Amino acid sequence: MANHVIAENYVDFYKEKGKHTGLGAWLLTTDHKRIGIMYLVAIVTFFLVGATLGFLMRLEMLSRGRTIMDPQTYNSLFTLHGLIMIFLFIIPGIPGVFGNFFLPIMLGAKDVAFPRLNLLSWYLYISGGLFAVVSVFLKGGPIDTGWTFYVPYSIRTGTDVSWMILAAFILGLSSIITGLNFITTIHRLRAPGMGWFKMPLFAWALYATAWIQLIATPVVGITLALVAVERLIGIGLFDPSLGGDPILYQHLFWIYAHPAVYIMILPAMGVVSEIIPTFAHRTIFGYKAIAISSLAIAFVGYFVWGHHMFSSGMSDTARWIFSLTTFLVALPSGVKVFNWVATLYKGSIELGTPLLFCMAFIFLFSIGGLTGLVLGALATDIHLTDTYFVVAHFHFVVFGGGGFIFFGALHYWFPKMFGKTYNEKVSKAALGTMVIGFMLLYFTMFILGYEGMPRRYYDYLPQFATLHIVATVGSWILVGGILVMIGNLLVALKKGKKASMNPWGGRTLEWTVPSPPPVENFEEIPVITHGPYDYEYNINGDSDKMEENYH
Amino acid sequence: MLLADATNYVKDVDNVMIYIVTISVIMLLGVTFTMIYFVIKYNRKKNPKGANIQGNLWLEIIWVAIPTILVLTMFYYGFSSFTILRRVPKDAMVIKVTGQMWKWSFAYPNGKKYDTLYVPQNKSIKLEMNSVDVNHSFYIPAFRIKEDVVPGRTDYLVFNAQQQGKYDVECAEYCGMHHAYMLNKVIVLPQDEFQKWVNTPAPPAAKNESPAAGNASKTQTGGQQGQKGQ
């Protein structure tokens, strides 16, 4: 591999003169790296909007009764917070940004299989986002149904549900196309010699995710379209007063929306499987177990949707079957956690920021996963469903898991994406602050939930007041940490020192190309002769020297 | 307010909770401390070269097999306790519950209707629940029970209150603007007092002594109840 030779005189993809210049170089690009950066800008923007809404909700909950807003506004805020965080941040997050930027490079390819489809996918994402934003300012007012659009309320409310459904529909299309693109890329564009089990685990995770995107997303598209039809012409599929069935809607919604949880978490698990061996400077423990557990999660994840409906009036038979399958889906996640920890055994561990993100992830995600067992058991779920316990549980999984690793991935690949290094002291302090704020905010909610605080409540009974104050204070600390973290990266973009080709000593292919990479990634397509985390084999003679340069 | 013996079912739920949480805490601490221990022990300064251990089949089998057994016991324990909740004793008194935006109302076997739930102590109660508009969920946290109340169908809940007192009732399925004020109380009376109460016809304009009564109508004008608490 002679790639490091070109490191001195090459043109990175930002500076490469293409057909278009200026804004056109971005908006008309088919380069997977530029599309990845465009996703990054859009997704972080939507994350900050969603976080602001969450921050305002917590502020409202600081005291009983009205604090800063009326109930209708609060109901819209939690709906929009959920929709933005789920459809515009966490589902497209890691695949859109890091999947696009790194999947082709990690496979030894020049781009994804369908570069133009990839750009279309970004435009659909942006259009969906714009529709969602526009719907807030229309005559009916912002949607107030909760992100789940449960009928019959979503059929009866006067707010602009149909526009938001259109937005979700378009975002779903974007997700399907990205999934299709990644599946094809992984099947067709692996470098010569890269058999399935020589593929990086991030690619495995994206592969499992992409199948869920492709197969499950159409279900929610159809279901939401039917809700819109019901609103427009009263066709009577879901509304019982027209002969429809509200429980049927819940089944159809969760047939997608539960697998969607794995769309949110699997890519994050893939990132963790990359970061840990890099910072432990040793090969991953149980490569095949981690790879196959991704597929197992994706597969079993299709058969657990009913656990969202244990108190919905579903038959008792359905309740116990879904409870059983729910417990089974916990097993492959456990396998991953155990293998990650085992990868640290006898490693040579450098405590870099990305590894600390992974450790925070393992801690927070384990709490999220283990409280999932409480919710998988029928007796306890009946008590806890639709309370703050559930809110806490899914924030630990989706935010403590997926969200933290979105930013962990950003810190891991930042030197590669932008060719700059950031201040690690500040990033570590920011992460520590985020974890403390996170625990105060969300762990408190487990207790509130067990004491009987229902979710989606504008107001609360006096016995819940103290813990609500603790949670709100936690939200301030969490937001402070997030702002410092993002500020630190923005400063690094402007003033960061130049990053070397392989600052962390990684072994996967993205560390064999310059930072930032040239347009076609590789001067010559690499030939793969060894596994992705092979530390016996020195991938480029001077990688150790580069590590020294960095320190 | 979360009494361990508010009903004969509360202990079952709490025991399942204690069982799962105990195992979970052990797992969480085990994973976390092992991770921190490795990070300290195999620090790059002390340990400049990592060992390339590819995996271990026996370990993989162990950490699939043991959790499988554990989660199956959790499943069974959660399921068997839940079946108690679904068993309707033959002598259960049936009270019809109606949910609507944003209040509950109750109808007793003798035809009495009221807007607060009064029940006799040590007697099985079956709530048969309907909604006239959108989905609601009838939730009594102190009893650890909840069931959605869905238009077009009848769902049920069963409980047997052991302790006299007042317990909160909350709507747990989002139902629009005043969802948070769709509150009520269960008031558990000794059997003779309950008989007296249920046989006294409700006054035409049912003014209720319970502080929770009429919550919904009061708060529709802007959350006064909440402001009192500030």
Q: Is the pLDDT of residue B156 over 90?
A: yes
- Closest CB to A378: pick one of B79, B171, B172: B79
- Residues from chain A that touch B63, judged by Cβ atoms under 8 A, are 334-335, 338
CA A63 – CA A529 distance, rounded (Å): 62
Interface contact B144-A289, CB threshold 8 A: no
The pLDDT score that the predictor gives to residue B202 is: 77
Residue B99 lies in a domain: yes
- Closest CB to A64: pick one of B20, B171, B226: B226
Q: Is the pLDDT of residue A423 over 70?
A: yes
- Residues from chain B that touch A451, judged by Cβ atoms under 8 A, are 1-2, 141
User: What element of type H or E holds B169?
Assistant: strand B165-171
**A174-198 pLDDT, tens per residue?**
999 999 999 999 999 999 999 999 9
Mind telling me how many Å the CA of A121 is from chain B's nearest CA? Answer: 34
Q: Which of B35, B45, B58, B159 to mutate to test the interface with A (most CBs of A within 10 A)?
A: B35
Q: Which residue has the tokens 């409280």?
A: A371
Is residue B110 domain-shared with residue B162, that is, in the same domain? Answer: yes
**Minimum mean pLDDT among A411-425, A507-521, B205-219: which range?**
B205-219
Q: Using 50, 70 and 90 to split pLDDT, how confident is the model at A8?
A: low
Residue B189 lies in a domain: yes
Interface contact B35-A153, CB threshold 8 A: no
- Closest CB to B44: pick one of A323, A349, A535: A349
Q: Which of B19, B41, B135, B158 to mutate to test the interface with A (most CBs of A within 10 A)?
A: B135
- Closest CB to B34: pick one of A75, A341, A370: A341
Is residue B80 domain-shared with residue B169, that is, in the same domain? Answer: no
Residue B177 lies in a domain: yes
Q: Name the domain count of chain B.
A: 2
- Closest CB to B50: pick one of A146, A334, A347: A347
Interface contact A367-B28, CB threshold 8 A: yes
Listed by start position, the domains of chain A span 3-550
Report CA-CA distances (Å) from A536 to A61, A526, B54.
Answer: 55, 19, 12
Mind telling me how many Å the CA of B50 is from chain A's nearest CA? Answer: 4
Q: Is the pLDDT of residue B215 over 90?
A: no
Is residue B75 domain-shared with residue B125, that is, in the same domain? Answer: no
The residue among B98, B153, B85 whose CA lies nearest residue B125 is B85
What average pLDDT does the segment A1-30 reach? 77
Residue B226 lies in a domain: no
Residue B157 lies in a domain: yes
Q: Which of B20, B59, B145 to mutate to test the interface with A (most CBs of A within 10 A)?
A: B20
Pairing of strands B145-149, B93-100: unpaired
Which of B 3-32 lie inside 8 A of A, CB atoms?
Answer: 12-13, 16-17, 20-21, 24, 27-28, 31-32
Pairing of strands B113-114, B103-107: antiparallel
CA A423 – CA A421 distance, rounded (Å): 7
- Closest CB to B42: pick one of A316, A327, A347: A347
**B85-108 pLDDT, tens per residue?**
999 999 999 999 999 999 999 999
The pLDDT score that the predictor gives to residue B226 is: 34
Q: To the nearest whole number, what is the mean pLDDT of chain A?
A: 93
Q: Using 50, 70 and 90 to split pLDDT, how confident is the model at A498?
A: very high
Q: Using 50, 70 and 90 to split pLDDT, how confident is the model at A16?
A: confident
User: What DSSP character marks residue B92?
Assistant: P
Is residue B199 domain-shared with residue B97, that is, in the same domain? Answer: yes
Which of B 161-180 lie inside 8 A of A, CB atoms?
Answer: 168, 170-180
Is residue B122 domain-shared with residue B164, that is, in the same domain? Answer: yes
**A317-361 pLDDT, tens per residue?**
999 999 999 999 999 999 999 999 999 999 999 999 999 999 999
Indicate the residue type of B69.
Answer: I
Residue B181 lies in a domain: yes
Is residue B102 domain-shared with residue B200, that is, in the same domain? Answer: yes
**A441-461 pLDDT, tens per residue?**
999 999 999 999 999 999 999
Which residue would you say has higher pLDDT here, B230 or A517? A517
CATH number of the domain residue B200 falls in: 2.60.40.420
Mind telling me how many Å the CA of B30 is from chain A's nearest CA? Answer: 10
Q: Are the C-beta atoms of residues B49 and A353 closer than 8 Å to each other?
A: no
Residue B132 lies in a domain: yes
What average pLDDT does the segment A19-31 reach? 90
Interface contact A349-B43, CB threshold 8 A: yes
Is residue B69 domain-shared with residue B102, that is, in the same domain? Answer: no
The pLDDT score that the predictor gives to residue B216 is: 39
Q: Using 50, 70 and 90 to split pLDDT, how confident is the model at B205?
A: low
Is residue B106 domain-shared with residue B75, that is, in the same domain? Answer: no
Range of the domain at B74: 10-47+56-86
- The DSSP line for A208-275 is HHHHHHHHHHHHHHHHHHHHHHHHHH---SS-GGGT--HHHHHHHHHHHHHHHHHHHHHHHHHHHHHH
Mind telling me how many Å the CA of B194 is from chain A's nearest CA? Answer: 27
The pLDDT score that the predictor gives to residue A551 is: 35
Is residue B169 domain-shared with residue B145, that is, in the same domain? Answer: yes
Residue B195 lies in a domain: yes
Mind telling me how many Å the CA of A286 is from chain B's nearest CA? Answer: 4
- Look up the CATH superfamily of A3-550: Cytochrome c oxidase-like, subunit I domain (1.20.210.10)
The pLDDT score that the predictor gives to residue B3 is: 61
CA angle A537–A543–A548, rounded 5-degree value: 135
- Residues from chain A that touch B184, judged by Cβ atoms under 8 A, are none
Chain B: residue whose CA lies nearest to A319: B79
Is residue B119 domain-shared with residue B210, that is, in the same domain? Answer: yes
**B49-65 pLDDT, tens per residue?**
888 899 999 999 999 99
- Closest CB to A63: pick one of B24, B145, B230: B230
Which residue would you say has higher pLDDT here, A429 or A11? A429
Is residue B147 domain-shared with residue B202, that is, in the same domain? Answer: yes
What average pLDDT does the segment A463-476 reach? 97
The residue among A112, A224, A120 whose CA lies nearest residue A169 is A224
**A215-242 pLDDT, tens per residue?**
999 999 999 999 999 999 999 999 998 9
The pLDDT score that the predictor gives to residue A389 is: 98
Mind telling me how many Å the CA of A338 is from chain B's nearest CA? Answer: 7
Is residue B164 domain-shared with residue B202, that is, in the same domain? Answer: yes
